[in-house]
Structure 1
Amino acid sequence: MPLSLTLPLTAASLAYLNAKTGFSNDWALLSAYIAAHISLHRRASQNTLNLFYDLETHALHRTHSQHPFLIYTGKSWSYGEAYGEVLRWAAWLKDVKGVGNGEVVGLCMLNSDTFVWVWFALWSLGATPAFLNYNLRGAPLVHSVRASGARLVLVDEEVTASFAGEVEKELEGVEVVFVGQEVQGEVQGMRGWRERDEKRGGLQIRDLAVLIYTSGTTGLPKPAIVSWQKARVGAALVARWLPLKKDDIFYTAMPLYHSSAAILGLVSCLMAGTTLSLGRRFSHATFWPEVRATKATAIQYVGETCRYLLAGPPSSLDKQHSVRFAFGNGMRPDVWERFQRRFGIDTVAEFYAATEGPGGLFNKSRNAFSRGAVGRNGTIMYPWFALQMVIARLDFETNKLLRDEKTGLCIPAAWDEPGELLFRLDAKDVESKFQGYFRNRDASSSKIVRDVRRKGDAYFSSGDVMRWDREGRWWFCDRIGDTYRWKSENVSTAEVGECLGRHEAVSEANVYGVLVPGHDGRAGCAATLLNGAEEEKSLELSEKVLRSLAEHAMSTLPRYAVPIFLRVTRQMEMTGTNKQQKHILREQGCDPEKVEQVGDKLYWLKGGTYVPFGKKDWDEITAGRVKL
């Protein structure tokens, strides 16, 4: 056969085999994973696990010291300049505040250059930063500080009010320092100090590197232990898997108190020797202008970030940027393709993980095949995923794992069947992969499931409902507790929300189950933000819009999954990382008085359309005269 035919046929065959086996996808992930662990153990053998050494290596390099490390509010710092700032803050923390090796120090700060300098200064002293959520107020804030054991908390001037009044009284004995111009001036007058290596030495890979808190949406926030192993492997894996190149500029406006921006954002950039472009906080008005101004080649998202970017008015500048990929977690399937198309984003690199969790899933998507999936594997990685993870069947009424009556073991879910995602642990040494929550043994133990595949084994409970299909795609369904049961059927809030999110009138939908007097299970309710000027003026919707929404839901969803109630709101309750809040909505339920008290409007499905739902209708239901 002539060469002119052989080469194209060979290329086509290889492309087919790659598509069939997912080889390139698996190899990118596997090679990154192996390289990350090799790097971890090399650092451990060199006694340089502390990530301060990575900054120092770049800063003292003959040429790379001049490479930009951080861009913030139009100013840029090279690795060398960043190192100088870190050492000045280290001198202030040591000499003025007496911070020493092994101490935990709280940081309650918005994104800024100062946040980064203080963070690495603490590491340089052998101390541990505890990242406090600056959105917290009252009891949750007090609890977060106390749970860390910190005697010193550095606070951004913008959140000064949060530490006044009762919080100040409750934190008696804790020194709270507001970092304003006076402190900044004091620090700039300091001569940089590099602590001796022995103050940072002797670390083990599972030792505490940083405390990062859970969101606290269903209770008080818990400080998750992020070990040096977790920080290093997670960041190195992401840096190699994406991959981040030295000339890349990685933009994030996600909060640094969260692991996505801190570990998988900033630390990944540090390990790749690339540049981080940092936004103070997420805002649709500043996101793309900052991306363009800093010539960012990568952007980070969390939760509903991309939906909010889509909600902004179209612009001729939408594709005028240098971004080659978007990286993050929690992008909804109904947003994914529209976001790529509108903003000209070639690749979406989605991941799934929990700050305290022992593993994760990754999906680098350029086409429709894996669009919307939180993870993906091919033939090579299948045995690894099958060994390290299991999706176990759930009783969606009790939210407990189903077990075989004879063996007492969990029952694996079938292909494409929703169940809880569990990660395998070493039954004899659980802490080798899961260090749990700081000084909270009970909470840590509650995340461990025993007797899953065999007697005595141990798994980490993710708390998430997932499904895995035969093509190696992993799909997020819901948080456990978000899936509700209605008409003897399980309803996925994520599936319903995705459906409603595709309607032209809907900007965002947050779906949850509500208790209805005289009815078993929970009825579906969708808190909805709508597009359009008419809806912005009033929550009274036109009959046309209401009927269109009902017809869309009924034609797309199973009958039992169509939301009975529609709650129209002007503002969606969110976490600081752009994830939807549900627990307050569930508590208010479908009682029109409670809903209208906060300024929202309630409708219900009747006669093939949504119509206003008021006190008279509620009384009819509670009296048992109406059956849904």
Structure 2
Amino acid sequence: MEMSSLALGAAATVLGSAYLSARLSLAHDVIFAKIAGTSILNIILAVRAGKLNFFYILERHAQAKSTANKPFILFEGKSWTYAETYEIVLKYGTWLKKHKGVKKGDIVALEYQNSAMFMFLWFGLWSIGAKPAFINYQLQGDALAHCMRESTAKLALVDPLFESGLTVEVRAKVPGMEFVIVSEDLERQVENIEAVRYPDWLRKEDSYVGTAILIYTSGTTGLPKAAIMSWAKLFVGGGLTPVGTGMTANDVFYTCMPLYHSSASCLGACAVLTQGATLAIGRKFSTKTFWKEVRETNSTIIQYVGETCRYLTVAPPEIDPVTGENFDKQHRVRVAMGNGLRPDIWDKFKERFGIETIYEFYAATEGALGLWNVSTNSFSKGAVGRYGLLSRTYVKATSAIVELDDETQMPWRDPKTGFCRRVKDGEPGEFIAKLPADDVTKKFQGYFGNKGATNSKIMRNVFKKGDAWFRSGDVLRWDDEGRIYFSDRIGDTFRWKSENVSTEEVAHALGKHPAVLEANVYGVQLPNHDGRAGCVAISFDTPNVTPELMASLASHARETLPKYAVPLFLRVMKSVGQQTTGTMKHQKHILRQQSVNPKKVDGDALFWLQGSRYEAFGEKEWKQLEGGRVKL
């Protein structure tokens, strides 16, 4: 009887502890401590050894018996071990230094699609102490020239697939830059070079907040800006991914997200490297090749961004034509990691493909703080952050969600004190992160060569005189159970197809069309679609909106803008200045509310992009959108 009572008591204690742990999210405290501890320890060790550069991690694995002959990169049916990758990297470093004159600290532009070559060139630059500027290969025209020029690079390494984008006009706008197309002939030339491992002083870094990579972001206004990715952030990413996913050296991490983004390059490739695991690279995202490549590479962790999981979930299943077997769950994946998985698709994705764990995170390349949510059930479905009792205290001390002024879209300030106000749990507001007031660069390195843009992200005197905080530009909300949810972007920039679309960039491009007098660009929410679709309140120099004009405008937009930024809808205004305020500023609020509902646009003609031109959009088409029968 006594033993039975003891057993029952012990069981009750275990169950009570389990309940308490789940209720207080204590497991997330452990994850937080591991991520923070791993990152800090690795930074300290690298600084002491004078080896901040991730090249040394590659070198260590290439020379270790346990990993030298292990696959590091898998790409399109080919495999490269750590030792093979290291040898190729040294050859490209040697070629860059001896034949192209690249010196320590030089910035070199890299415009490349996902591939093993992307990795070889990237680490080849690091091997000689140079820094890559990752260029979005989808950019064209002025935006492409701008990014090349702002990098200050004198050399650009370009994927042969995108040589056609380097028009005479683009090259003319980047004076002094040499464009090298990495052709098959060049690859063979480099293969025959004797690899040189240059001395450590060439890779010596003065500070852990020094520049490792330039990664471009659309920001909130204007053309893309080069965000500084520091070595410290790489080490944080190197800790964040493995701990959150439980990654070990035996894992295969698959990503077809663009390596020019920090998600794939820093939280993917660099994290894999820290663990001595294997990186499986997909050239680009496609529902037809995603799971095929995952299965072929035996991947155990997959990466997603934005609507990736939605597209995979709504795509038809792959069925074996002979046996009729459904391949949806024929894989080894245990964790899906990324950002942008929406609550309405969260469980559908997990159930269809048999994914046990979702590791959702929130971060910005230039940001000063990241959030994460390891979810194995529906409790934190849709959250971009989740913290336990202890880690919540720390995060709330180093970040805040503040009330926004509806008119200015800036953090609201008390008329008497001038200070901002934290919102209550459950209320939305702008997410901000605390910076060291005496030296903000310790946590926020800003935008390369752009003090104005850097300073615009820093707020002073927020809660007390002299303090400093980083503005995320995002609206988040934090509930009373430690979960954080994303609400929206602030201002004119809107997200579509996992990309930030700059209204200024789109308006600038459309304004160059000879028939356009005025273009007011904004994002509209649509039935059955996440994000905001691009819409333009537009005025032409003629009242005759002909099919030829609509085809010409569509062609112009596609030639001057990345695919994701091409507006899907047009609202033809009756006259110039219709959408301005009394102070001659474009108003967007009412236009956004009216969306593209024909009943709410005051009789304005609507058009939507269909194939090679814009065609009339009316009640019939709107009902198709409402009924979920349209995929944009």
Q: With the length of structure 1 as denominator, give the TM-score of the two structures.
A: 0.81
CA distance in 2, matches of 1:246, 1:258: 24
CA distance in 2, matches of 1:246, 1:57: 14
Number of the residue aligned with 1:523: none
- 1:424 paired with 2:434, answer yes
- 1:510 paired with 2:532, answer yes
Q: Contact 1:482 / 1:512 at 8 angstroms: preserved in 2?
A: no
Number of the residue aligned with 2:331: 321
What is the CA distance between 1:19 and its match in structure 2?
1.2
**Bigger mean CA deviation after superposition, 166-175 or 43-52:** 166-175
- 1:64 paired with 2:79, answer no
Change (3 A) 1:482 1:368: farther
Change (3 A) 1:202 1:265: closer
Q: Which residue type is aligned with residue 70 of structure 2?
A: H
Matches within 5 A, 1:458-497: 458-481=468-491
Number of the residue aligned with 1:43: 46
Number of positions where the alignment pairs a residue of Structure 1 with one of Structure 2: 540
- 1:139 paired with 2:145, answer no
- 1:156 paired with 2:159, answer yes
CA distance in 2, matches of 1:384, 1:122: 37
What is the CA distance between 1:215 and its match in structure 2?
3.2
Number of the residue aligned with 1:568: none
Residue of structure 2 aligned with 1:222, choices 220, 225, 249: 225
Residue of structure 2 aligned with 1:353, choices 358, 363, 366: 363
Number of the residue aligned with 2:519: none
Number of the residue aligned with 2:285: 282
**Bigger mean CA deviation after superposition, 337-346 or 306-315:** 306-315
CA distance in 2, matches of 1:344, 1:49: 39
Residue of structure 2 aligned with 1:268, choices 264, 267, 271: 271
Number of the residue aligned with 1:296: 299
What is the CA distance between 1:169 and its match in structure 2?
2.0
Aligned residue for 1:306, secondary structure, equals helix
Aligned residue for 1:380, secondary structure, equals helix
CA distance in 1, matches of 2:201, 2:30: 39
Deviations 1:125-168 (A, max 9, x none): 00001000000000111110111110000000000111022112
Residue of structure 2 aligned with 1:244, choices 244, 247, 257: 247
Q: Which residue type is aligned with residue 129 of structure 1?
A: P
What is the CA distance between 1:585 and its match in structure 2?
5.2
- 1:595 paired with 2:607, answer yes
Deviations 1:562-596 (A, max 9, x none): xxxxxxxxx999x98x9x75977588765754524
Q: With the length of structure 2 as denominator, give the TM-score of the two structures.
A: 0.80
- 1:370 paired with 2:380, answer yes
CA distance in 2, matches of 1:5, 1:86: 61
Deviations 1:210-251 (A, max 9, x none): 100003674211010111111112222222232211100000
Number of the residue aligned with 1:524: none
Residue of structure 2 aligned with 1:101, choices 93, 101, 104: 104
CA distance in 2, matches of 1:29, 1:440: 33
Aligned residue for 2:304, secondary structure, equals strand
Aligned residue for 1:381, secondary structure, equals helix
Q: Which runs of 5+ in 1 are unaligned?
A: 485-492, 502-506, 518-570, 614-628
- 1:386 paired with 2:401, answer no
- 1:340 paired with 2:362, answer no
What is the CA distance between 1:612 and its match in structure 2?
11
Q: Contact 1:72 / 1:278 at 8 angstroms: preserved in 2?
A: yes
Q: Contact 1:482 / 1:513 at 8 angstroms: preserved in 2?
A: no
Matches within 5 A, 1:69-108: 69-108=72-111
CA distance in 2, matches of 1:130, 1:494: 29
**Bigger mean CA deviation after superposition, 62-71 or 6-15:** 6-15
CA distance in 1, matches of 2:104, 2:625: 62
CA distance in 1, matches of 2:159, 2:453: 30
- 1:203 paired with 2:206, answer yes
What is the CA distance between 1:8 and its match in structure 2?
2.4
What is the CA distance between 1:390 and its match in structure 2?
0.7
Q: Which residue type is aligned with residue 455 of structure 2?
A: S
Change (3 A) 1:108 1:198: same
Q: Contact 2:358 / 2:374 at 8 angstroms: preserved in 1?
A: yes
Identity within the alignment, %:
43
Alpha-carbon RMSD across the aligned residues, in angstroms, is 2.9
Change (3 A) 1:15 1:513: farther
- 1:10 paired with 2:13, answer yes
Q: Contact 1:604 / 1:612 at 8 angstroms: preserved in 2?
A: no
Change (3 A) 1:572 1:108: closer
What is the CA distance between 1:4 and its match in structure 2?
3.7
Change (3 A) 1:217 1:420: closer
Q: Contact 1:205 / 1:227 at 8 angstroms: preserved in 2?
A: yes
Q: Contact 2:533 / 2:568 at 8 angstroms: preserved in 1?
A: no
Number of the residue aligned with 1:488: none
CA distance in 2, matches of 1:323, 1:612: 34
What is the CA distance between 1:202 and its match in structure 2?
4.1
Deviations 1:240-268 (A, max 9, x none): 23221110000000011000000000000
Q: Contact 2:569 / 2:606 at 8 angstroms: preserved in 1?
A: no
Residue of structure 2 aligned with 1:441, choices 451, 454, 479: 451
Change (3 A) 1:509 1:382: closer
Q: Which residue type is aligned with residue 88 of structure 2?
A: E
Q: Which residue type is aligned with residue 602 of structure 1?
A: F
Residue of structure 2 aligned with 1:406, choices 380, 399, 416: 416
Q: Which runs of 5+ in 2 are unaligned?
A: 319-325, 495-521, 540-556, 573-590, 627-632
Change (3 A) 1:235 1:612: closer
Q: Which residue type is aligned with residue 420 of structure 2?
A: C
Aligned residue for 2:532, secondary structure, equals strand
Change (3 A) 1:289 1:153: same
- 1:231 paired with 2:234, answer yes
What is the CA distance between 1:62 and its match in structure 2?
1.8
Residue of structure 2 aligned with 1:29, choices 29, 32, 36: 32
CA distance in 2, matches of 1:445, 1:159: 34
Q: Which residue type is aligned with residue 470 of structure 1?
A: D
Q: Contact 2:226 / 2:448 at 8 angstroms: preserved in 1?
A: yes
Deviations 1:454-482 (A, max 9, x none): 11111000000000000111000000126
Q: Contact 1:85 / 1:117 at 8 angstroms: preserved in 2?
A: yes
Q: Contact 2:244 / 2:359 at 8 angstroms: preserved in 1?
A: no
Deviations 1:285-338 (A, max 9, x none): 110000000000010000111111112102310111000010001111111111
Number of the residue aligned with 2:545: none
CA distance in 2, matches of 1:368, 1:508: 20
